[in-house]
Amino acid sequence: MKIGVVGLGYVGIITAAVLASRGHQVIGVDVDKEKVKSLNCNRSPIYEPGLDELLRKVKINYTTDYSKLSDVDIAFITVSTPTVNGKILLDHVFSAVSSLSNVLRRDAIIVMKSTVIPGTSRKAKELSGMEVVVNPEFLREGYAIEDTLHPDRIVIGGDKSAGDLVEEVWRFTNSPIIRTSLEEAELIKYASNSFLAVKISFANEIANLCERIPNCDVNVVTQAMGIDKRISPYFLKAGLGYGGSCFPKDTLAILGFSSELGEKLRIVEAAVEVNNERPLRAISAMKELMGEIKGKRICILGLSFKPGTDDTRESVALKILNLLEKEGAEVIAYDPKAKVEGIKIARNSEECIMSSEGVIIATEWSEFSGIEPILKGKYVFDGRRVLDLKKLDNAIMVGVSRCKR
Ligand code: NAD
């Protein structure tokens, strides 16, 4: 098929690359000239494992010119949908819909892959007069290619025959396909992300409890819980909380949306509240270890919101960094992939640790495990459970008893 992908961010580039690798003719459109230029020079603007290799193998036409989509069969919308002041911002989506409706063939199909609140795609359909199908994206950054090739399920919402065409695009995955209404497909994405956020916050509250009970380690508790098939082990890991471009904004967007409908999502509200508190806990752990942190040099290991990506959107590490600076600490950081301007960055973890009195593990990059020998004499808060507490002298680990019997 001839396929357009509108919005070349994390989701758009991966979708374009995977579809091109399946033999489709793909045209990628973005309003960001620099991004398009860099993609046309074979430079990916994002880090994602396997992406550079995949992009070298496929041929994709990148452009800022929507008119290049005039004869595509399907146009995927993968533009950003940020949450601003507790409300989803749909300007990018509607701008893309409007540009598409000016250039597409009348029988082409618009596929909404961006995460949008229920009702958005029906409105897009009415405004554009085009057939719109919802096909939410569930990929995880760090595993994005694998997740696009082999998703757990594919949700397709909307009209039967338009949905059939989208089903044909994804049939190669052999994944279960669920056909729904437009609104159900939109809500499935929010319900899924909110539920995962709830699981993470639940594990984090159990971690808080473990810290106050002698002889308790949250990992032992959650591992045993996760063996129960009804619970499952995924997203039950205690740590510093969730960040990234999805959970924080999606939980707030669904809360804003539901309150407009006069419904309260109390469990999601609680998950957000628990998550907001996580960075503060890192600060109190450092104070517990070091006493005063004002004027002290503290190193943060990991800046990306999780390992395997350079994405720092809503990264907990950056929130901790800001809090430390507000408290008067001097901060230096190191991350294997993420690049952040305006902060002091070390060339490697050793340099970062050696120049500091305190160390916070904020992202669980695998290269941070086994660094206990160079942490000797430092005050360490392991917020991501990568170290062996027995090998450290002055350390606190999330979810491990802090009281001795
Ligand atoms: P992103 O911010 O990385 O990329 C969005 C791109 O859209 C940017 O390059 C931007 O320039 C472009 N854009 C904005 N307006 C445009 C327009 N009118 N026309 C053309 N291009 C335009 O976003 P992302 O992380 O790829 O997320 C895209 C959508 O997918 C969001 O709704 C997000 O919630 C959802 N999603 C993201 C992930 C993820 O892990 N990143 C996973 C699942 C779903």
User: Using a 6 Å cutoff on CB, does residue 15 contact ligand 1?
Assistant: no
Do 152 and 173 share a domain, yes or no?
A: yes
Percent of the chain with pLDDT over 70: 100
What pLDDT is recorded for position 405? 52
Is residue 286 in a domain?
Answer: yes
Tell me what the mean pLDDT of segment 220-235 comes to: 97
Q: Pairing between strand 83-84 and 87-88?
A: antiparallel
Check whether 301 has a pLDDT greater than 70.
yes
Q: What's the 80 CA to ligand 1 centre distance in angstroms?
A: 3
Instruction: Indicate the residue among 149, 179, 209 that finishes a domain.
Output: 179
Q: Pairing between strand 109-112 and 379-382?
A: unpaired
Is residue 117 in a domain?
Answer: yes
Do 157 and 110 share a domain, yes or no?
A: yes
User: Using a 6 Å cutoff on CB, does residue 346 contact ligand 1?
Assistant: no
User: Using a 6 Å cutoff on CB, does residue 135 contact ligand 1?
Assistant: no
Q: What is the pLDDT of residues 312-339, one digit of tens each?
A: 999 999 999 999 999 999 999 999 999 9
Is residue 299 in a domain?
Answer: yes
Domain that holds residue 171: 2-179
CA distance 266 to 71: 46
Q: What is the pLDDT of residues 148-205, one digit of tens each?
A: 999 999 999 999 999 999 999 999 999 999 999 999 999 999 999 999 999 999 999 9
Output the domain CATH number for residue 93. 3.40.50.720
CA distance 358 to 379: 5
Mutational test site, ligand 1, from 18, 245, 306, 313, max ligand atoms within 8 Å of CB = 245
Do 150 and 34 share a domain, yes or no?
A: yes
Atom of ligand 1 at shortest range from CA of 250? 34
Do 196 and 166 share a domain, yes or no?
A: no
Do 152 and 106 share a domain, yes or no?
A: yes
Mean pLDDT of the chain: 97
CB 289 within 8 A of CB 379: yes
User: Using a 6 Å cutoff on CB, does residue 77 contact ligand 1?
Assistant: no
| Side-chain-side CA neighbours of residue 24 (13 Å) | 24
Mutational test site, ligand 1, from 30, 44, 189, max ligand atoms within 8 Å of CB = 30
Domains: count for the chain: 2
Percent of the chain with pLDDT over 90: 98
Instruction: Indicate the residue among 156, 179, 202 that finishes a domain.
Output: 179
Is residue 404 in a domain?
Answer: no
CA distance 378 to 395: 8
Is residue 403 in a domain?
Answer: no
3-state secondary structure of 311: coil
Do 95 and 155 share a domain, yes or no?
A: yes
Do 343 and 272 share a domain, yes or no?
A: yes
Is residue 166 in a domain?
Answer: yes
Do 150 and 219 share a domain, yes or no?
A: no
User: Using a 6 Å cutoff on CB, does residue 80 contact ligand 1?
Assistant: yes
Enzyme catalytic residues = 246
Q: Can you list the alpha helix ranges (DSSP code H) found in 213-234? A: 218-227
What pLDDT is recorded for position 403? 77
C-alpha 133: how far from chain center:
23
Do 239 and 349 share a domain, yes or no?
A: yes
The residue type at 191: A
Band of pLDDT at residue 42, cut at 50, 70 and 90:
confident
Do 52 and 102 share a domain, yes or no?
A: yes
- Of all protein residues, the one whose alpha carbon is nearest to atom 2 of ligand 1 is 80
CA distance 109 to 105: 9
User: Using a 6 Å cutoff on CB, does residue 35 contact ligand 1?
Assistant: yes
| DSSP annotation string for 79-141 | ----EETTEE--HHHHHHHHHHHHHS-TT-EEEE-S---TTHHHHHHHHH-SEEEE------T
Do 202 and 280 share a domain, yes or no?
A: yes
Instruction: Find the distance separating the first CA and the last CA of the chain, reported in whole Å.
Output: 67
DSSP state of 378: S
Residue 405 in tokens = 């019997």
Do 172 and 217 share a domain, yes or no?
A: no
CA distance 33 to 11: 18
Is residue 52 in a domain?
Answer: yes
Name the burial class of residue 390, with classes exposed (0-12), middle (13-18) and buried (19+) by CB atoms within 10 angstroms of its CB. exposed
Check whether 404 has a pLDDT greater than 70.
no
- The packing angle between helices 91-103 and 120-128, to 10°, is 30
Q: What residues form DSSP beta bridges with 345?
A: 333
The whole model's pTM is what?
0.95
Is residue 185 in a domain?
Answer: no
Q: What's the 9 CA to ligand 1 centre distance in angstroms?
A: 5
Instruction: Indicate the residue among 179, 199, 224 that finishes a domain.
Output: 179
Closest C-alpha among 129, 126, 180, 116 to residue 153: 180
